[in-house]
Amino acid sequence: MLYKGLYHLFYQYNPNSALFGDGMVWAHSVSYDLINWVHLNHALHPTEPFDIKSCWSGSVTILPGNKPVILYTGIDANNTQVQNLAMPKNLSDPLLKEWIKFSQNPVITPPIGIEGDHFRDPTTAWLGADGKWNVIIGSSINDQGMAILYQSDDFVNWSRYQDPLYSKEKTGMWECPDFFPVSVNSTNGVDTSVINPGVKHVMKASFNSHDYYMIGTYVPGMEKYIPDTDFTGSNTDLRYDYGKFYASKTFFDSVKDRRILWGWINESDSAEDDINKGWSGLQSIPRQVWLDRSGSQLVLWPVEEINKLHDKQVSIQHKKLDGGSVLEIPDITASQADVEVLFELPELEEAELLNSTWVDPQKMCTDANAAVRGRLGPFGLLALATEDLTEQTAIFFRIFRGHNAYTVLMCSDQSRSSLKEKVDKTTYGAFVNIDPQHEKISLRSLIDHSIIESFGGEGRTCISSRVYPQLAVHKEAHLYVFNNGTQSITISKLNAWGMSKAQFIYEENCFSYKASQ
């Protein structure tokens, strides 16, 4: 959230272990720019009967008068998931260092028919025209995932609406649901309570290890959500990110009029590795979110503040890449980099014919990885690579020709990312909703030692991966552009930057941080 000029990030943290477990707290960090952070003391600890086992996820809502309030899931003494309130002790403190739990907690308990361990993660609330606050809580009944709707006049006394705001069979437990409006004709974000003909509503649910979303119409009063396209359980379901990305949450930045998405990206190595290094899991680079001009999907793009970390720049323009060629991007720190590249395809009509049975993009990327030559593709980037390419993570495209249109496939191939064993090297893939006849193929990748966040088609398709090279580390890491197709392509333009480190400061040094801003 944004409060008195400071961004606040609350996140799930285990103070007792590098792994998830009992005793989870709400850790709390603040920032002026979403990039450099001060770690404060934890905001919520398990201390009361209603949260004694853990303080699990939830949301912040800003009440009238600029009063933030936390609604969170507590695991009580009976291992039941209940919803609790907490308020700042001192509203004049921009750091909001101390929070007080409401004496009458819990304010919402699992209703009849809902199991006590299937009732969690309340969303940021929205205010209806009728003056009622609305919040959804993730749940499921017999493998039917749902967003249970609760309403309140005062944010303290909550009643369950007769029907879920939305539910879908065969989706299982919905974790960390999110529900927010997006403008139909602007990239600007809008406040969570905005309801008018100029917005559509996004319903997002985390299940089956991924974050799925729908775009649709919210009908207040009737409290119905009508998606343009429903969850189908197939590869056509929309996702924020087609790699590692889960339990995400958005907030509205009222100063810059944008909606920002945070996502949790877990590890791909072993629990033993995590214990040895003393931590696991990280947050994605915050991403701005808006509705694509097609109206059929969202666009995600790193917040502009990430550019503050740009260091030395390298540029390449109008460079032809023949089939089978590899070109190094020199003179930058390849283990910490931001690279944007635009590809032209002068021989588009030479693309391979798309087989009608090829409907699963992840399988297509797995079956034909970066080493398998096609006509137009694979072409893209080789990140965190050794000089001899023994280790490499390939983020690439393939272009296919259909009867009436072209199909763009984007892949992130981790199969050769590390010589280490006991590492998940799953390859990820997704289609990119662009027409290469009218648009160049763009790719942006943010590389940071063990994570690569990639954005294809100007953010229409995102793939994040965790990789653990053994050799391609620090100064031994290299970054290449490659074309392993038989047809030549052209780098229309490429800009790459080494990246400086973000600052992390602990609370005792907080005031010097503030002075430096």
Side chain identity at residue 354, one-letter code = L
pLDDT per position as a tens digit, 254-274? 999 999 999 999 999 999 999
Mean pLDDT of 311-332: 97
Q: Given this model, what pLDDT does residue 509 score? A: 59
| Inter-residue contact 40 to 66 (CB < 8 Å) | no
With residue 365 as reference, give the H or E element that holds it: helix 361-367
Mean pLDDT of 284-304: 98
Mean pLDDT of 493-501: 98
Distance, in Å, from the CA atom of 405 to the CA atom of 190, rounded to the nearest integer, reads: 35
Distance, in Å, from the CA atom of 373 to the CA atom of 272, rounded to the nearest integer, reads: 37
Q: Given this model, what pLDDT does residue 510 score? A: 55
513 pLDDT exceeds 50? no
Q: Model confidence at 514, in pLDDT bands (50, 70, 90)?
A: low
Q: Given this model, what pLDDT does residue 347 score? A: 87
Mean pLDDT of 225-232: 97
| Inter-residue contact 243 to 412 (CB < 8 Å) | yes
CB atoms within 10 A of CB 331: 11
Mean pLDDT of 287-315: 98
Distance, in Å, from the CA atom of 357 to the CA atom of 58, rounded to the nearest integer, reads: 42
Q: Given this model, what pLDDT does residue 112 score? A: 95
pLDDT per position as a tens digit, 119-161? 999 999 999 999 999 999 999 999 999 999 999 999 999 999 9
511 pLDDT exceeds 80? no
Q: Given this model, what pLDDT does residue 515 score? A: 44
Average pLDDT, the chain: 96
80 pLDDT exceeds 90? yes
Q: How much of the chain, in percent, has pLDDT values that exceed 90? A: 97
| Inter-residue contact 189 to 252 (CB < 8 Å) | yes
Q: Model confidence at 285, in pLDDT bands (50, 70, 90)?
A: very high
pLDDT per position as a tens digit, 182-228? 999 999 999 999 999 999 999 999 999 999 999 999 999 999 999 99
Distance, in Å, from the CA atom of 464 to the CA atom of 296, rounded to the nearest integer, reads: 22
pLDDT per position as a tens digit, 6-25? 999 999 999 999 999 999 99
Distance, in Å, from the CA atom of 14 to the CA atom of 132, rounded to the nearest integer, reads: 35
pLDDT per position as a tens digit, 333-349? 999 999 999 999 988 99
Strands (E), 296-392: 298-302, 310-321, 325-328, 336-344, 352-353, 379-385
Of 360, 55, 144, 119, the C-alpha closest to 236 is 360
Q: Cα 481–483–489 angle (5° rounding)?
A: 100
pLDDT per position as a tens digit, 386-439? 999 999 999 999 999 998 899 999 999 999 999 999 999 999 999 999 999 999
